[in-house]
Amino acid sequence: MRLFTFLTLLFCAATGLQAQEVTLLQDIFPGGTNSSPNNFFQYGDKTLFRAGTENEGTELWITDGTAAGTMLVKDINDDPSFRRGNSNPNNFTEYQGKVYFTAGAPGTGSELWVTDGTSDGTQLVKDIQPDEGSGNPFDFIVFNDLIYFTANNGNDANSSELWVSDGTEAGTNLVVDINPGGPGNPINKFEYLGFIFFAGNDGVNGRELWFTDGTAEGTEIFFDINPGPGNSNPSDFLDFGGRLMFAADNGTIGRELYNFNAVANTIGPIFDLLEGEDSSRPDNLFAVGNRVFYTGQRAAGVDGLHFVDFTAGSIFFNVANQNGPSNVDQVTEIVPGRAYVMVADTGAVEDQSSFLLVDNLTGGLQIEADEDLFGDLGGLDPQDLVFTGSSLYFSYESDATGRELAGVDLFAEGATPVRFNEVAAGASSGEIDDIHLLGTQLIFEANDQSTGRELYTADINAAYVNLETEGGETIANGDTLDFGDINFGEIDSLLAILNNTGNADALFLNFTGLFDTEIILPQLVNADRGEATFLPPAPDNAYLRFLVLPQQEGAFVDTALVSFVTASGPNSIQFFVTGNVIAPSVEAFADDVRILRGDTMSFADTPVGQGSVRALTFNNSGAGDFVIFEAELTEGDFFSIPTDVTARVATDDSFTLPITFSATTDVEVRDSLLVSTNIGQFAVVLTGSSNAAPDITVVALDRNLATGDGLEFLDVPARTDSTVIVTVSNPGTATLVIDSIRFADGQFFSTTADMLTLAVNEVASFPLTFSPTEVATVTDLMTLYSNAGDFEINLSGMSIVNSVVDRGLPVKRVFPNPTTGVIRVELESPVLTGQFRVTNAVGQVLQQGNWPEGQLFHDLDLSNLSAGPYQVEVISGAAKMTARVMKR
C-alpha cells in the first residue's frame, strides 16, 4: 500500500474499516417508480433533500437517518396543473439557523423560500417577480451577516441582478442594477479581502470581474480583463495566501489561469498553457503548500493536472498522467492545504479512472496514483467521494456488479478497501448516486431494480469533535476560557477537552497560541499515541492544559487556536483565555528598619560560643496572597533558620522569620539568605563579626590578574562561543565568599557561576564565555563581589566573520569555537536522517558518524585531535552545513 504512506508512518495506531451493510431507508414512491432523492443538504443533525411522489410531485423532504424520521416537509406546489405539481426545491443555503432555497409555487413562480425543517416553518420569503413570473434566485452567499444572491424582478427583460436579504420580506431588496435594461447576471460569487468578487456584465464592458461591499455605492467593476464589450467570464476563484486565483479570457490568449496579487496590486495571466487563442480552460483549483493545482488543456482535447509553484516561480505540466489526458474530477480535501484525493485517469488502468493523491504533509510534495490502496476498485471509475474524517467512501462500477458502494480507512496501516453488499444483485447496477454524510451514516440514491431509485443508507466510520470545558460546556469559535482571579506568581491551570463524539479516530492537526510570557503552551495529556495526533472516540478524550504563571498584575486576554479534521471537514476553533492577576504588596523589616532586596543584616560583636537572633518580618498590604515557597541559606555554617519555611500571608497580615548567628571561632563571616516567593526571590546578605580576613587571587589564561586588569578574547567567529576558565583561590585566613558575579553590560559575556565559597587555601573555578552575535569589538566589566572586597576584570572581545556555511541545512550555532575538546553543532530544526564528519585542512576525514535521529544538536569530541584548524560537516540528503573550527 502506497497511498497515505506518510499518514501510516505517523498515525499507525488507527484501526481499519469494518464491512457494513447497505439497506433501503425508505421507499418514498412505492411500487417501483423512482422518487429520485437528491440535492442533499445538511441542516443540524438532519438532512434536507428533494424527492418525488405520485400525489405531491418533487418536493422538500427531511431525514434524521431513520425510516420514521424521513418525511415530507411541505407540499409547496399543491397544484398539479402548475409545473406538474413540482416545486423542485434547490440552491439550499443555511443562514441564521434556517435554510433558504429556491422553489416554485402557483401564483408566485420560482422564488425565495425559507425552512426550519417543519411544515409551518417553510414559507415564502418574498415574491421577487410578482405573480407567476419567476425571480429564480440562485448563487447564494452569506456575507456580513446577510445573504446575497442573483434574482430577476422582471423590471427589465431577462434582468438578473444582485439582491440581498436579511430573511424578511421587507429586508429582501435589490442591491444594485448593474446593467439597466439588461441582465447584469452577477455569478460566481466569492468572498475575498472583505468584499464579494463576482462576474458581472454592465452592458458596456462585457462579463468582467466585479466586487461589492454589499451596497450599491460599493459595487463596481474591478478590472476589465477583456477590454471593450468582450467577455472575460472570470470563475473558479481561489484565495491563495492573499492572491486571488481564477480563470478568465482576455480575448487574446484564450481562457487561462489568472492571478491578482493584492500586495503588488497587479493582475494578469500566469501562463498561456495552451498557446495562442485556444483555451486551456483551467478548473478544479486547489492549493497544497506553496503550489496551486488546477486542471487544464495543454493540447486540444487533452487535459491534465498542472501546478504553479510560486516559490520556485515555475509551472509543471500534466503531473497526473504523462501519457495522455488526466480527466481530473471530484477533488476531495483530506487535510486542508496539505492532502487531497481525487479521481483521474493516471494511465495505470486503460480507459478507467483511478485515485490520485496529492500530499505535502511531510514537507515534500508527493503526487502519485495508488491503485494498491484501493485494490481492484482503484480503476473502476470511482464517483461521489465522501471523506468522514478517517475513511473515504465512494461508488465504483464494474461489469460484474454495476455501480455499488465501497470504502477504505485512509489512516490504518495495512487497510484494504471494503465493498458493501450490492444494492442490485449480480451484474445489475445499484445506480448509486449523490452520496451524502449524515452523522455516522451515508444516505444516497440507489436502485435495487425493483423499488426504483429510492433513498438508501449505510452505517459507516466517522469522527466528530467538540471542544468543551471541564464542566461539559461547548467552547465555540470566539468563546472564552476564564481563569477568574489568579494569585501573582502561583501556577494555575484550566483544561479544555477535545471530545470525539463519533465512532472513528479524528485527525488532530495542531495547536497554536498567541501567548505572552505568563502563559505556558498547553500539553496534550492523552499520550497513548505518542504525540496524540489522533483523537480516539470518547471516553478516551484528549485535553489541552493551560498552565498560567502570572508575572504581571491586572487582567490579561490571549488567543488560542486548535485545528483538527472530522467528518464535517477541517475545523479550527479560535478561543480566548482570560484572567485577572491579583498581587501582594510586601515590605520587609528588621528591628523596624526597612530591608530591601540585597540589603545586609549585620550580626556584630557576637561572643564566641553564643548565639545572636534577629527577626526578618514581611508585611503584606496588597490584594493577593504573599506566598513563601522556601527559605534557605547559601552556606548555613554560622547562620541558621527554621527548617521547611513555607507561609501564605493574606492581605494585611505578616510573617516573621527568625535568623540566628553562632560564632564558633574568632572569625568574620557572611552568608546569603534566599527567600523564594510568588513575587520573586528575596535575597539578604548576612554578616557576622571576626578578626580573621579572607583574600582573593584570580588566574585566567595562565595569567595572575590584579583587580582592574584586562582579559581579551581574540578572533572569535560571530554567533559562536569562546570560553576560558577563571580560577579563584583564597590565600587568606578566613573563608572567602563571592556572593555574586556581575557584568556591567552582560550582552556578550556570561558565566554560569553565581556564588562561590572558598575555605582557607581552597581553589575554585568558573567558566567565562564570550558569545558575539556579529562582527564587532566589544567591552564589558566583570565584578566579583566578595567578603575580601570587589574584584574587577576589564573584558574585551573581538569577533570575526563566522565560518559557518548554510547549504540548505540551517544551523543555529557551532560552539565553543575555538575549543579544547568538545564542540557542539546546533541546528535550527531537527534532522531525521543525516551524517556528520570532521576533516583536516587537506580534506582527510578524521571522524564520521550518523546524526542522532530527530535531534537539534550533537556534541563532537575533538580532544584526541592536535591543535589546528578543522572543518565540521553535517549532511542530510541534498542539504548540508559546514563550519571551520579551531582546536587549541
Q: Where are the chain's structural domains?
A: 1-33+370-462, 38-133, 137-229, 465-582, 586-688, 697-800, 805-887
Rounded Cα–Cα distance for residues 485 and 622 (Å) = 14
- Comparing 143-147, 247-251, 376-380, 816-820, the range with the smallest average pLDDT is 376-380
The pLDDT score that the predictor gives to residue 509 is: 74
The pLDDT score that the predictor gives to residue 169 is: 97
Q: How confident is the model over 595-607, as a mean pLDDT? A: 86
The pLDDT score that the predictor gives to residue 410 is: 76
Dump strand ranges (E) for 689-839. 697-700, 703-705, 710-717, 722-729, 736-743, 749-750, 756-758, 763-770, 777-786, 791-800, 805-807, 811-815, 822-831, 835-839
Cβ proximity of 125 and 163 under 8 Å: no
Residue 132's nearest CA partner among 113, 111, 114 is 111
Q: Which CATH class name applies to 465-582?
A: mainly beta
Q: How confident is the model over 92-98, as a mean pLDDT? A: 97
pTM for the predicted model, two decimal places: 0.66
The yes-or-no verdict on residue 201 having pLDDT over 80 is: yes
CATH topology match: 697-800 vs 805-887: yes
Torsion sign (Cα): 419, 421, 423, 425: positive
Q: Would you give the DSSP letter of residue 634?
A: S
Helix ranges (H only) for 2-72 are 5-10
Rounded Cα–Cα distance for residues 727 and 701 (Å) = 9
pLDDT more than 70, % of the chain: 87
Domain 805-887: which topology?
Immunoglobulin-like (2.60.40)
- Comparing 334-343, 441-450, 493-502, 862-871, the range with the smallest average pLDDT is 334-343
The yes-or-no verdict on residue 348 having pLDDT over 80 is: no
3-state secondary structure of 469: strand
Please state which CATH number belongs to domain 586-688: 2.60.40.10
Rounded Cα–Cα distance for residues 596 and 54 (Å) = 92
The yes-or-no verdict on residue 530 having pLDDT over 60 is: no
- Residue 246 belongs to what H/E stretch? strand 243-249
- Comparing 448-452, 611-615, 624-628, the range with the smallest average pLDDT is 611-615
The yes-or-no verdict on residue 318 having pLDDT over 80 is: no
The pLDDT score that the predictor gives to residue 574 is: 87
Q: How confident is the model at residue 520 (pLDDT cuts 50, 70, 90)?
A: very low
Mean pLDDT of the chain: 86
CA distances from 272 to 250, 253, 293, 309, 725 (A): 11, 6, 15, 15, 67
The yes-or-no verdict on residue 720 having pLDDT over 60 is: yes
Q: How confident is the model over 206-218, as a mean pLDDT? A: 97
Cβ proximity of 155 and 163 under 8 Å: no
Burial of 439 (0-12, 13-18, 19+ CB in 10 A): buried
Q: Would you give the DSSP letter of residue 2?
A: -
Q: Does residue 816 have a cis bond before it (omega within 30 degrees)?
A: yes
What CATH architecture does domain 697-800 belong to? Answer: Sandwich (2.60)
